[in-house]
Structure 1
């Protein structure tokens, strides 16, 4: 009887600990892309973009990233590649057409983990909105590549969205934070 009580207590504590875990999602737009050929729908990164990809890997190197998601475009995959290589993580491809479903997939598959999502100027904010119900800023312009959004989700707690910049600066917004109650 005593063993059953101990096992039940351990199970209860473990269940509580798992339900209280924080899921952290880092979201960035792909780094600078080559724009010399307007007909090229899948351009590579520029030299500056390659450097930004390295800067992203350096910025997130100490984080315990367990999954990396990109779209099927070279520019998103090449932005994530230095971090994926450093952490020996296979990049997962997501379809940006249904970002609400993707947000649910992120939360279901990665509860309690830290993940990176590399998207586009027209998908990053929509993904954040699907996760927390509100965009932290109104838009990401075509010239802005340096935003790093960090979404922290914990059941029963406020959801936090932190905004930072990484690599070479191309925006004036520093250290903004948005909070939303669950």
Structure 2
């Protein structure tokens, strides 16, 4: 059936607007708001001065983190190249069947955050870093001031939520056993 000329443009416009609104989301990109969950690696062992693994307390904290994020719409997990961050991230990644993607611990926080912001539009993204990198990463993600992190602080979790308008908010919480001063 051929439409009269005067109806062609409105019908094409309608079809184009419907098609543009029908974008599909990948299974790993839910329509939930974007939240970055940024933590320091869990407690480390003394087995290697350069690249220690997690202690028993650290492994327990990593399991608690996985349980805390069990129902989150997790889309990605990032951890530095060190064993302690990878081991902290692994239980969360395993729970959600997503890989742990390594990032360079000494990379510029602003560049790393910019890459993550470009790569993710929705869902929850876990980032595991170090006491000397987490505050800078959080600041770069939220565009706000953050408190420094003490070397024996393992229980801080920073939630950076990015709204639909692109504005970020920061909420700092605690998880697992309290860190000892």
Verify same fold: TM over 0.5: yes
Between the aligned partners of 2:62 and 2:11, the Cα distance in structure 1 is 53
State the SS of the aligned residue for 1:56. Answer: helix
Between the aligned partners of 1:46 and 1:11, the Cα distance in structure 2 is 53
Between the aligned partners of 1:11 and 1:67, the Cα distance in structure 2 is 28
Whether the 8 Å contact between 2:32 and 2:73 is mirrored in structure 1 is no
State the partner residue of 1:58. Answer: 67
Whether the 8 Å contact between 1:70 and 1:80 is mirrored in structure 2 is yes
Whether the 8 Å contact between 1:32 and 1:49 is mirrored in structure 2 is yes
> Does 1:8 pair with 2:19?
no
Q: 1:159: Cα distance to partner?
A: 1.4
The correspondence for 2:38, drawn from 3, 21, 27, is 27
Between the aligned partners of 1:7 and 1:23, the Cα distance in structure 2 is 30
Between the aligned partners of 2:166 and 2:79, the Cα distance in structure 1 is 28
> Does 1:134 pair with 2:118?
no
Between the aligned partners of 1:142 and 1:36, the Cα distance in structure 2 is 18
Between the aligned partners of 1:157 and 1:102, the Cα distance in structure 2 is 17
Count, aligned residues: 166
TM-score (norm. length: structure 2): 0.82
Gaps (5+ residues) in structure 1?
A: 173-182
State the partner residue of 2:133. Answer: 123
Structure 1 segments of 4 or more deviating over 6 A?
none
Q: 1:13: Cα distance to partner?
A: 4.6
Query: Looking at CA atoms only, which structure, 1 or 2, has the larger radius of gyration?
Result: 2
Gaps (5+ residues) in structure 2?
A: 1-7, 24-30
TM-score (norm. length: structure 1): 0.82
Between the aligned partners of 1:85 and 1:33, the Cα distance in structure 2 is 20
Task: Render the CA deviation track for 1:108-139: whole Å, top value 9, x for unaligned.
Answer: 11122321000000111100111222233x21
